């Protein structure tokens, strides 16, 4: 693999030119890359949400005094419980962010499984199978990341309403919508 030079993409160019005459393979490859693009966009958005939630959580975790200020009567057991929930949320959001990074990573060489001079549709079958597996894996990573972020969000609403005794209705509404 060369990072410099005029002919870095020559092999890929030949494969893409051969692909132009093979309509079914071309359309299938295009569809898989559309799927990967959608997953990439969704994971990037979720990664942004994860970053905001992590910043809020870390701001509270960095200062036990901030937690005490939230509570009207700061009892050590209550502060410790909230701190434990916050730490759990940081781990969950970190795992979600890691899974999002797995979704957006480019970890394969484009058209690597295609022979140098493809002439038939079946020459692209291994590449299509590999892309199908990548799309399936990344879809699952995204689902798990989304579920973890949702858990963090719901826990954040719960402890916020627990601290302020406000927002319990919001937690109930979100829970009802999720179950719904």
Give the closest residue to 42 by CA, choosing from 135, 146, 130, 134.
Answer: 146
Query: Do the beta carbons of residue 18 and residue 117 sit within 8 Å?
Result: yes
| Both structure tokens of 128 | 């299509």
- The DSSP 8-state label assigned to residue 166 in this structure reads -
- What pTM did the predictor assign? 0.73
Instruction: Give pLDDT, residue 166.
Output: 46
Q: 13 to each of 8, 19, 81, 89, 155, how far by Cα in Å? A: 10, 10, 59, 47, 50
Tokens of 129: 């199978």
**Chain segment 146-161, per-residue pLDDT in tens:** 999 999 999 888 777 7
Q: Which residues of the chain have pLDDT under 50?
A: 1, 12, 166-167
Q: Are 68 and 79 in contact (CB under 8 A)?
A: yes
Q: How is residue 100 written in tokens?
A: 């999002």
Q: Is 165 left (phi over 0), alpha (psi -120 to 50) or beta?
A: left
CB-based contacts of 101-110 (< 8 A; 24+ apart in sequence): 101/43, 101/47, 102/138, 102/141, 103/39, 103/40, 103/42, 103/43, 103/138, 103/141, 103/142, 103/145, 104/40, 104/43, 104/44, 104/47, 108/134, 109/1, 110/12
The pLDDT tens digits of the residues spanning 130-143 come to: 888 888 899 999 99
């Amino acid at each position: 693999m060369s990072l410099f030079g005029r002919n870095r993409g020559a092999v890929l160019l030949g494969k893409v030119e051969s692909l132009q005459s093979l309509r079914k393979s071309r359309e299938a490859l295009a569809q898989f890359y559309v799927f990967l693009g959608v997953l990439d966009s969704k994971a990037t958005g979720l990664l942004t949400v994860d970053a905001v939630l992590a910043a809020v959580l870390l701001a509270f975790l960095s200062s036990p005094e901030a937690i005490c200020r939230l509570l009207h009567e700061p009892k050590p057991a209550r502060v410790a419980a909230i701190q434990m929930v916050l730490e759990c949320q940081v781990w969950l959001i970190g795992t979600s962010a890691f899974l999002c990074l797995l979704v957006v990573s480019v970890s394969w060489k484009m058209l690597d499984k295609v022979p140098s001079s493809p002439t038939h549709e079946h020459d692209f079958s291994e590449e299509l199978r590999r892309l199908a597996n990548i799309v399936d894996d990344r879809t699952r990573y995204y689902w798990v990341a989304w579920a973890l972020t949702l858990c963090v969000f719901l826990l954040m609403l719960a402890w916020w309403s627990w601290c302020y005794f406000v927002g319990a209705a919001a937690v109930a509404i979100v829970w009802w919508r999720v179950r719904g």
